[in-house]
């Protein structure tokens, strides 16, 4: 039985990834921090398709909770796909950023991903595929998210370093850098803001969580067997580095 572990898999992009990998036959372990109800709904939906799934409460900034996650028997049996998806984006103007806020963002987006990988590392199969959800802002920066952008830049650079280190074993590590995706992160947009975002994207639409989940499925498949250390921008042409 192939197993996929998805952090923050209970809502938004993570929920779409959990559902997509389940549809490809993976047994799903998804983690949540605050959204237990939504996570259980995703698990129920997956179980209704006759695929095993479980939700585990884990704040990725808490090293003890991450250590506990790694003791789950499904993880001990071996992980085929690890999706480091969790993240926070608080929209703080770069010039107003305080050190506590920067630390909190780094602890979640960057160190949290590192902690999860570190804790489950010994359970990753020799051909494991690791997908890291970065952001276009990790390359281009943002006046409303210097902390977020820096955390995603660190995450991507760490992932590319890891890719080079574990490649001889057969493991692959890739980064997906989404543009605008319709999740709670954009839920605060006014109708005007939403329209202006759509107009800004050359493909003239906001991305869906399923757009990102499809790319994760590709990176988890053998169709991407020669791709590692890549940053794949999934953004409708919004940003072309």
* Choice from 18, 26, 56, 61 touching ligand NDP (CB under 6 A): 61
Considering the complex, state which of residue 62 and residue 125 has its C-beta at the smaller distance from ligand NDP.
62
Q: How many residues bind ligand NDP (CB under 6 A)?
A: 30
- Residue 236's Cβ-side half-sphere holds a number of Cα atoms within 13 Å equal to 18
| Spatial distance between the Cα atoms of 197 and 200, rounded to a whole number of angstroms | 5
Does residue 59 belong to the site contacting ligand NDP (CB under 6 A)? yes
Please, what is the end-to-end C-alpha distance for the chain in angstroms?
38
Q: Which of residues 109-138 bind ligand NDP (CB under 6 A)?
A: 112, 133, 135
Give me 87's structure tokens. Answer: 């993240």
Which one of 79-87, 157-165, 197-205, 222-230 is the stretch in contact with ligand NDP (CB under 6 A)?
A: 79-87
State the alpha helices, DSSP H only, in 24-70: 36-47, 63-69
Helix axes 12-23, 36-47, angle to 10 degrees: 20
Pick the catalytic residue: 26, 32, 148, 226? 148
Residue found under tokens 């003791």: 71
Q: Build a one-symbol-per-residue string for 9-48: x at contacts with ligand NDP by CB under 6 A, - elsewhere.
A: -xxxxx-----------------xxxx-------------
Which one of 2-10, 21-29, 94-102, 188-196 is the stretch in contact with ligand NDP (CB under 6 A)?
A: 2-10
CA 156 to each of CA 25, 148, 239: distance values in angstroms, whole numbers, following the listed order: 28, 12, 16
* Choice from 19, 27, 72, 86 touching ligand NDP (CB under 6 A): 86
Shortest CB 212 distance to ligand NDP, Å: 7
The verdict on whether 148 is a catalytic residue reads: yes
Residue found under tokens 């921090």: 33
Q: Quick one: which of 52, 50, 1, 48 has its CA closest to 30?
A: 52
Catalytic residues: 148
Residues found near ligand NDP in the complex (CB under 6 A):
7-8, 10-14, 32-35, 59-61, 85-89, 108, 112, 133, 135, 178, 180-181, 183-186
């Amino acid at each position: 039985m192939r197993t996929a572990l998805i952090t923050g898999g209970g809502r938004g992009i993570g929920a779409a990834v959990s559902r997509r990998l389940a549809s490809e036959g993976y047994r799903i372990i998804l983690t949540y921090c605050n959204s237990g109800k939504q996570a259980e709904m995703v698990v129920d939906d997956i179980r209704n398709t006759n695929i095993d799934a479980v939700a585990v409460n884990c704040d990725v900034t808490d090293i003890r909770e991450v250590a506990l996650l790694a003791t789950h028997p499904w993880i001990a049996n071996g992980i085929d796909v690890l999706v480091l998806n969790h993240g926070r984006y608080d929209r703080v103007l770069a010039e107003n950023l305080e050190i506590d806020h920067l630390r909190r963002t780094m602890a979640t987006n960057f160190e949290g991903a590192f902690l999860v990988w570190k804790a489950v590392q010994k359970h990753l199969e020799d051909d494991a595929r690791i997908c890291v959800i970065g952001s276009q802002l990790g390359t281009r920066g943002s006046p409303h998210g210097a902390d977020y952008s820096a955390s995603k830049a660190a995450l991507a650079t760490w992932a590319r370093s890891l890719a080079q280190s574990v490649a001889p074993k057969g493991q692959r590590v890739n980064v997906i850098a989404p543009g605008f995706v319709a999740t709670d992160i954009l839920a605060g947009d006014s109708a005007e803001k939403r329209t202006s975002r759509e107009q800004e994207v050359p493909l003239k639409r906001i991305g869906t969580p399923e757009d990102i989940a499809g790319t994760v499925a590709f990176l988890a498949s053998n169709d991407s067997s020669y791709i590692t250390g890549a940053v794949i921008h999934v953004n409708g042409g919004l940003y072309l580095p």
